């Protein structure tokens, strides 16, 4: 895939203000609270990933921010405007890549991009978009004949066609094969490098770790923690697990000071050999599961 930066125009807004500012967001369906006082802030120019199990409210949050779903309560500002009342000018400043496959199945890739360009005030050149999403060789192929990964790339091209300042990506790589996923990751990096703010939802922890400047975990209708991927669950990561074999069975100690445990084990073991000795700390998946209260057999992918 050609690595072409996609830089948004300067819309003259306050660049110090957050791209997304949410306080006390609430949304219920049939009496069940999906969002229960969610607070969220996304800085301009960053890639922010929302993580959470199915039904946690990730897509509902995105739809409220896009202005396609009404909230029950709370304050929401996206690019300094309330999505519930924002006009056409505001909508031209955001890009949306949803989970759907989209329309224009009978058009070629180039025809689809040319067609939807008429709906934006300042469309990017079609050739530039084709290069940016790696679809130059598929320009004459009908949309209905594209692979799943290629359709997702086309969806992104359409989502950024109007030079948006902020792009919403809702589970963008679901159904992609590993090669397509990594090509897509490069596209997101290019968007961010060009100054575009990216807000994505994902089930894939490796994707969040690879792309996001910060990660927010939703559980119980609220954002339970926000941090860079490497710092998420810092308190949980401080404790290590020391494991070894002794008297024909496994023993295990959890401690914030594994060095002392290791010294005692080595001092008490002949020849300084401790069978099966390992020292591990919680990884991103362990931290995520602890934060959402899930189990390894849950819905995490």
User: Is 295 among the domain residues?
Assistant: no
Q: Which residue, 231, 252, 267, sits at the end of a domain? A: 231
Q: Report the Cα 37 to chain-centroid distance in Å.
A: 21
Output the pLDDT for position 99.
67
**Tokens describing residue 298:** 């849950």
User: Is 244 among the domain residues?
Assistant: yes
Output the pLDDT for position 102.
61
Let me know whether 48 and 136 are in one domain: yes
What domain count does the chain have?
Answer: 2
Triad 181, 20, 229: Cα angle to 5°:
45
What's the whole-model pTM score? 0.77
Let me know whether 176 and 264 are in one domain: no
Q: What is the CATH number of the domain that holds 38?
A: 3.40.50.300
User: Is 285 among the domain residues?
Assistant: no
**Tokens describing residue 110:** 């180039």
Let me know whether 172 and 131 are in one domain: yes
Buried b (16+ CB within 10 A) or exposed e, 25-34: bbbeeeeeeb
Could you list the pLDDT tens digit for every one of the 301 residues in the chain?
A: 444 445 554 544 556 789 999 999 999 998 899 999 999 999 999 999 999 888 888 989 999 999 999 999 999 999 999 999 999 889 889 999 876 656 678 899 999 999 988 888 788 899 988 887 889 999 999 999 998 778 888 888 888 888 899 999 988 887 777 877 887 888 889 888 988 999 999 888 889 999 999 999 998 888 988 999 888 877 777 788 888 888 888 988 888 888 888 888 888 887 768 888 888 877 777 788 878 875 343 343 3
Let me know whether 163 and 254 are in one domain: no
Let me know whether 271 and 215 are in one domain: no
Output the pLDDT for position 86.
93
User: Is 132 among the domain residues?
Assistant: yes
Let me know whether 47 and 186 are in one domain: yes
User: Is 287 among the domain residues?
Assistant: no
Let me know whether 202 and 254 are in one domain: no
User: Is 126 among the domain residues?
Assistant: yes
Let me know whether 202 and 61 are in one domain: yes
Let me know whether 206 and 226 are in one domain: yes
For 31, the domain range is 20-231
Let me know whether 172 and 262 are in one domain: no
Let me know whether 215 and 269 are in one domain: no
Output the pLDDT for position 296.
40
Let me know whether 128 and 272 are in one domain: no
């Amino acid at each position: 895939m050609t690595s072409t930066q996609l830089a948004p125009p300067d819309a003259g807004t306050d660049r110090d203000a957050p791209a997304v500012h949410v306080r006390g967001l609430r949304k219920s369906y049939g009496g069940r609270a999906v969002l229960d006082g969610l607070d969220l802030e996304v800085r301009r120019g960053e890639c922010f990933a929302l993580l959470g199990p199915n039904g946690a409210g990730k897509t509902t949050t995105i739809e409220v921010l896009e202005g396609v779903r009404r909230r029950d309560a709370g304050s929401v500002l996206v690019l300094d405007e309330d999505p519930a009342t924002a006009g056409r000018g505001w909508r031209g400043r955001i890009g949306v890549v949803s989970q759907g496959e989209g329309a224009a199945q009978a058009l070629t890739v180039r025809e689809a991009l040319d067609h939807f360009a008429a709906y934006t005030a300042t469309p990017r050149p079609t050739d530039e978009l084709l290069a940016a999403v790696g679809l130059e060789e598929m320009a004459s192929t009908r949309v209905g004949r594209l692979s799943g990964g290629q359709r997702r790339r086309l969806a992104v091209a359409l989502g950024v066609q109007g030079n948006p300042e902020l792009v919403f990506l809702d589970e963008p790589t679901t159904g992609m094969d590993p090669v397509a996923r990594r090509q897509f990751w490069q596209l997101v990096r290019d968007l961010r490098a060009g100054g575009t703010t990216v807000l994505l939802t994902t089930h894939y922890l490796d994707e969040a770790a690879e792309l996001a400047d910060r990660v927010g975990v939703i559980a119980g209708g609220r954002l339970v923690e926000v941090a860079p991927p490497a710092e998420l669950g810092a308190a949980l990561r401080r404790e290590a697990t020391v494991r070894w074999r002794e008297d024909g069975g496994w023993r295990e100690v959890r401690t914030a000071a594994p060095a002392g445990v290791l010294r005692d084990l080595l001092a008490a073991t002949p020849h300084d050999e401790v069978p099966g000795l390992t020292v591990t700390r919680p990884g991103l998946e362990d931290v995520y599961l602890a934060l959402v209260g899930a189990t390894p057999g849950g819905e995490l992918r």
